[in-house]
Structure 1
Amino acid sequence: MRKTLRHWSLATVLALVTAVPAPAAELLDGIVAVVNDDVVLLSDFQQELEQVRAELDRRDIAPPPAEELRRQVLERLVVEQLQLDEAERRGITVDEATLDTAVRRVAERNNLDLRGFRDALQREGMSMADFRDRLRRQITIQRLRQRVMDERVNLTPQEIDQFAERIAEDQEEFRLRHILVAIPEAASAGAIAEAREEAEALRRELTEQGTDFAALAAARSDGRNALEGGDLGWRRAGELPSVIAERLSGLDPGEVSEILRTPSGFHLFKMEDRRDAERHIVTQTRARHILIETNEVVSDRDARLRLESLRERIVGGESFEELARANSDDQSTASEGGAMGWLTPEEIPPAFQRRLAQLQPGELSRPFRSSAGWHLVEVLDRREEDATDTYRRNQAAQQLRQRKEEEETELWLRQLREEAYVDYRLEELEDAAV
């Protein structure tokens, strides 16, 4: 099943967006599929098809036969529409302010202002309105999936503790590709046997005929990454279901796994590469600060001028600690003379981190603003710390949730698809065009 929307950045847009071919113009309002009470339009299908072709070309993956590719793309759009329908039923919306912020972030990540971003889209045949609509759909589906997974995935403290121990022992990462032959929920013995036969045939194509794994995944996989050639990127063993991780641990780069069974169906994996997980070394900064908060009485100008005055007194020899105790609005550090202890980048806001990074030990900052208010900061010391164990423990819950959510997402989307009414009409349109 083709379920994943790409994360739209300008780089993706520039690589993928292609205008709808002119010969199909007279059919732009055609309906290629009826999905419950909604439809998938031919214009959307054609645009998605061209984008997928461009993405496969960018990844240097041989495209599937035209009929297979059309089927894959249409199924992706059907599942997308089902998710949008479910989001509407649950009252999930994306307001204009959120969408404006998301568009700005995409533009900023690509070093463009909004005007330059709009121009770049237009050069590739996409209007800003179309881009905003695609981005709105992506954010809507992300919010829907998060809500569904919050309902379906629960982690206990015991699970997290046990998983953290496994992560500590797991020093290896795998670069994987994946093919899934899905089986319906509550499938009959015959349907399961048929799916296994298909998986065995696919494995023979890979191992005996030398078929390219990425091309076969794009043509035949039911996985969410099918149209990316089944690329799963780098994964720790702990992020994969244990039955899969155990079977993959013995594969060498270039090898294809045996057929593996999970509730989602039958899986094939290719080990593209493997590496030892890097240790997590962080730069910690020991600092102290004075915070002046702004409010209806204290303006930004008032706070900045007050800190400028305090800075002059510190430079003149007065005690930072005493001035922090008397003036700082940060109640958690004021009593300690402003001492913040050893800070790692993850613990502090970006604006604060940027200012810290500019200061040498013993250096006192100029007043600056963050989301908390106005600060005067002195860096006392720096050190490199091996935070691998702490990092692994902090990541344990996130990785365990990700693994469970991937399994549950496959099952949920399959259930959503099986319960839907879908009427494909692409062949009818193609026949009418002949």
Structure 2
Amino acid sequence: MNKTNSRKNFPALRLAGAPVFALLLAAAPLAAQQLQALDRIAAVVDEDVILQSELERAEHNVRAQYANNPRQLPPADVLRRQVLERLVLMKLQVARANDSGIRVGDDELNNAVAAVARQNGLDVDGLRQRLAADGMSFDDFRNSIRDEIVVQRLRQSFAQSRIQVSEAEVDAALAQQSGNGVQYHLAHILVGLPEGATAEQIATGQKKIDGIKGLIDKGEMDFSAAAVRYSDSPNALEGGDLGWRSVDEIPTAFVNTLRSMSPGQVVGPIRGPSGFQLLKLVETRDAAQGATQQVTEYQARHILVRVTDVQDSAAAKAKIDTLRARIAGGADFAAVAKESSEDPNTRSSGGELGWFALDAFGPDFGQQVAAIQDGQVSQPFRTEAGWHIVQREGVRQTDVTDQNKRAQVRETIGRRKLEDEYNRFLREMRGEAYVSVHDASAKTPAPTPAPPVTPPATGDNGG
């Protein structure tokens, strides 16, 4: 029997798509006839296409996000290229996920749609009507959600197959954290360079990053607006915001620099594997160390009788009833488990499960263990695995502070590694793709990162 909360390098990836799709509902309505008039091919991406309506809608949603500060957006042609590039990367990721056998069932998709509706204070019918009023078909909306889930599954699969965090890395991060509970809110601007960049490309990139830094230093453009307009990073349209990071989530080369910086300060250019970067320290905060974390653990044995195609639930229930009757009549629980349990992981040890948290094997199992006293045997109960009886052996309070801290550090290191490796994976995939742009105003987006575009000598505050 496997614990349902067994620790891994990363937590399960949640559906981040719901807030994204909520933005679709926040956008100002687009007339349905306008979208139909634009419904032609904007770009061909390998064997898929991006429709003009998709491009217009995505661009419209970005403008809606900046409705209160539209001057931070780049010129229309630059914005369209950025949005189109995002759509290209989405198409490529979905195609790669499909080739890898990643699928999203209708039930899961329906649940995700219902969750988006609830977040917007609607039921599904209300969501359908809202989308229709905004000129978006319900099927297109469902497909967008499906794509977001599929891409997250692709990232998760990528993490599980390529990202490893060693205990030595965790030890080093904890040592670095010792006595330093500071977290850093960061933002960056990236001027990307292709793999094997030529001397001319490097010089052009250096000129671009120096020009951006000059605009910021002179106060002619704030950092966020410069990121939106000039950064080649995937988070450019978010103003380059990297969010809060602890020291184990920051490349070691940057940590000492950050410790000497003041909030609002910008450093760089810094040459990295992806190109030239400017790094801004937005603010700092003390990370709460928290109190000692205690968890109640139980020790128990169990006997499982599985429900299968050959042995239905009624037959399994009859068998577990017989086994419990034998134990109630004086038979040793461990001996009966060795003889008759159908759990191959615990049978040889007499059904011994060791010490575990109450939810380790699921809520139904935990409820049964909590309801009996040490030495008692439960009544038969059903779980997804089959029919069980369990004998509780003990209960204790365990300090899991260090264990949880190590798990948290392991996850943050893993997220940093995933971010770096996945962005490299996207660049490689983009560079190998066939992309033909039919939308004249968007031009042909180059493989991510885009070739440098030199900023003007003087700024215009992003207008």
Common fold by TM > 0.5: yes
Correspondence for 2:175 among 169, 178, 182:
169
Are 1:392 and 2:406 counterparts?
yes
Q: Is the 8 A contact 1:64 1:219 kept in 2?
A: yes
Q: Distance in 2 between matches of 1:109 and 1:191?
A: 46
* CA displacement, residues 57-107 of structure 1 (integer Å, 9 cap, x when unaligned): 69x89751451432321221233334455667xx34544xx3324314525
Match of 2:20 in 1: 12
Match of 2:341 in 1: 328
Q: Distance in 2 between matches of 1:154 and 1:111?
A: 34
Are 1:75 and 2:89 counterparts?
no
Q: Is the 8 A contact 1:282 1:385 kept in 2?
A: yes
TM-score normalised over the length of structure 1:
0.75
Are 1:414 and 2:427 counterparts?
yes
Q: Distance in 2 between matches of 1:187 and 1:107?
A: 44
Q: Distance in 2 between matches of 1:86 and 1:333?
A: 39
Are 1:64 and 2:73 counterparts?
yes
Where do 5+ consecutive residues of structure 1 fail to align? Answer: 1-5
- Partner-residue secondary structure (3-state), 1:290: strand
* CA displacement, residues 289-312 of structure 1 (integer Å, 9 cap, x when unaligned): 332222345322343455567668
* CA displacement, residues 352-402 of structure 1 (integer Å, 9 cap, x when unaligned): 566369647658655443333223345531413225257527964x65554
Correspondence for 1:276 among 251, 272, 287:
287
Q: Distance in 1 between matches of 2:40 and 2:217?
A: 42
Are 1:251 and 2:265 counterparts?
no
Q: Distance in 2 between matches of 1:108 and 1:350?
A: 25
Correspondence for 2:383 among 370, 373, 379:
370
Shift in Å at residue 150 of structure 1? Answer: 8.0
The RMSD of aligned alpha carbons is 4.3
Are 1:187 and 2:197 counterparts?
yes
Q: Distance in 2 between matches of 1:189 and 1:227?
A: 29
Q: Distance in 1 between matches of 2:270 and 2:373?
A: 55
Q: Is the 8 A contact 1:259 1:267 kept in 2?
A: yes
Q: Distance in 2 between matches of 1:286 and 1:342?
A: 5
Match of 1:102 in 2: 108
Shift in Å at residue 265 of structure 1? Answer: 0.9
Correspondence for 2:143 among 116, 126, 133:
133
Equivalenced residue count is 413
Shift in Å at residue 219 of structure 1? Answer: 2.9
Q: Is the 8 A contact 1:223 1:230 kept in 2?
A: yes
Match of 2:308 in 1: 295
Correspondence for 1:381 among 392, 395, 406:
395
Query: Which one has the bigger helix percentage?
Result: 1
Relative contact order (alpha carbons < 8 A, sep ≥ 6): 1 or 2 greater?
2
Q: Distance in 2 between matches of 1:183 and 1:242?
A: 22
Identity %: 32
Q: Is the 8 A contact 1:30 1:429 kept in 2?
A: no
Q: Is the 8 A contact 1:365 1:377 kept in 2?
A: yes
Match of 1:3 in 2: none
Match of 1:123 in 2: 130
CA 1:78–1:107 in structure 2 vs 1: closer, same or farther (change >3 Å)?
closer
Counterpart residue type for residue 173 of structure 2: I
Shift in Å at residue 45 of structure 1? Answer: 0.5
Counterpart residue type for residue 388 of structure 1: D
- Partner-residue secondary structure (3-state), 1:177: strand
Q: Is the 8 A contact 1:283 1:383 kept in 2?
A: yes
Match of 1:341 in 2: 354
CA 1:270–1:354 in structure 2 vs 1: closer, same or farther (change >3 Å)?
farther
Q: Distance in 2 between matches of 1:417 and 1:211?
A: 30
Q: Distance in 2 between matches of 1:416 and 1:16?
A: 27
Q: Distance in 2 between matches of 1:336 and 1:365?
A: 19
Shift in Å at residue 285 of structure 1? Answer: 1.7
Shift in Å at residue 260 of structure 1? Answer: 2.0
Match of 1:230 in 2: 240
TM-score normalised over the length of structure 2:
0.71
Q: Distance in 1 between matches of 2:319 and 2:304?
A: 10
CA 1:46–1:385 in structure 2 vs 1: closer, same or farther (change >3 Å)?
same
Q: Is the 8 A contact 1:33 1:425 kept in 2?
A: yes
- Partner-residue secondary structure (3-state), 2:280: strand
Counterpart residue type for residue 130 of structure 2: R
Q: Is the 8 A contact 1:33 1:426 kept in 2?
A: yes
Q: Is the 8 A contact 2:334 2:351 kept in 1?
A: yes
Counterpart residue type for residue 22 of structure 2: L
